Structure 1
Amino acid sequence: MSKAVSALDGVTFEGFAKVEETGLRGMITVRGDLASKEVAEAVKAATGAEMPGLRKVTSGGKGAVAWMSPDELLVVVDYDAANAAVATMTDALKGTHALVANVSDARAVFHLSGDSSRDVLAKLAPVDFAKDAFGSGDIRRSRIAQVPAAVWGNADGSFEVICFRSVAQYVFDVLKVSAQPGGEVGFH
């Protein structure tokens, strides 16, 4: 059996913000009625997290849950725990109209940190990254330059960027260019 590897093997760049590929992450798409008790219980069983509100991320002892659309969540757990989380949620949702799919190997995740990380993102995505508009626990599904991506804010002021694995090199490259010294736009 082959060994799982991340898209860019932990590549990093440090300019006026630090860009790091985070390595393997367990990611599960859950589609269904987000207002249902069954979905909330399934998500809580797999992650320990409550259901997130509109454009929010919640965390529990075993993972995080991100609101992606009116009928879609992204459940994030340790890579090695993804299949067990899928099984837990699938069992909990038996008889319910829902989809649970492990998409871990189809995604890449980047971590942006530093006082100017908002500047990096503001140059690449049509999202208001001002501190009063986008904070900890917020998520937006948008694009980074020319490709689809999701961005969420962490409690420490850093950000996670999730994209398709097939465009990971492109996303890293545009984040790296955007983080080069001299390009701050004034969000810090």
Structure 2
Amino acid sequence: MSNVVSALAGISHVGFAKVAETGLHGMITLRGDLDSAEVAAAVKAATGAAVPAIRRIEAGDKGRVAWMSPDELLVIVAYEAVSETMTALNDALSGVHALVVNVSDARALFRISGDTPREVLAKVAPVDLSPDAFGPGDFRRTRVSQVAAAFWMNDDGSFELVCFRSVAQYVFDVLRLSAERGGEVGYFA
């Protein structure tokens, strides 16, 4: 049997902020009518979280759920819980027009933390990251430098960023360079 490993084996870098690949995470794409009672009940039962509003992420006792598009959610659970969560979602959505797909091994997840993690992302993503425009629970699907990514802010002020596994090294290098000491802009200090 294969030994499952994360994209970059937990690599990290500390500059004026810390950038770290956070290991294996379960990630499930759920597509369907996000306004339906069936999807809301399935998501709540599987994760403990509500269906998030546009450009938001919600946390529950068994996972997090991020708004990806008008008919798509990203369900984030423990890597070991993917199979069980997919079964729960599929069972709850039986007979409903929906799609549930395991995308765990196609994604990488990074955490940006420290005193000024907001500045790291503001330098590489075309998103207004001012405190008035982007706070805890906010979620954006965007680009980091030249590749697709999505990120959100946690309650502790850190950020988490998800990208395709195939560009994980590139994304890490972009974030690492953005976080280098001496490269602080000081706008969010």
Q: Same fold (TM over 0.5)?
A: yes
Superposition map of 1:92-131 within 5 A: 92-131=92-131
Counterpart residue number, 1:167: 167
SS in 2 for 1:150: strand
Superposition map of 1:1-188 within 5 A: 1-185=1-185, 186-188=187-189
> 1:11 offset after TM fit, Å?
0.2
Q: TM-score, normalised by structure 2?
A: 0.98
SS in 1 for 2:28: strand
Counterparts of 2:82 and 2:135, CA distance in 1: 27
Q: Which amino acid aligns with 2:59?
A: S
Q: Which amino acid aligns with 2:152?
A: W
1:14-71 superposed Cα distances (whole Å, 9 cap, x missing partner)? 0000000000000000000000001011111110111111101111100000001100
Q: Which amino acid aligns with 2:139?
A: I
SS in 2 for 1:134: coil
Structure 2, unaligned stretches of length 5 or more? none
CA-based RMSD of the aligned residues comes to 0.6
Aligned length: 188
Residue identity over aligned pairs, in percent, reads: 65
Q: TM-score, normalised by structure 1?
A: 0.99
**Displacement over 2 Å in runs of 4+:** none
Counterparts of 2:159 and 2:106, CA distance in 1: 20
Q: Which amino acid aligns with 2:173?
A: D
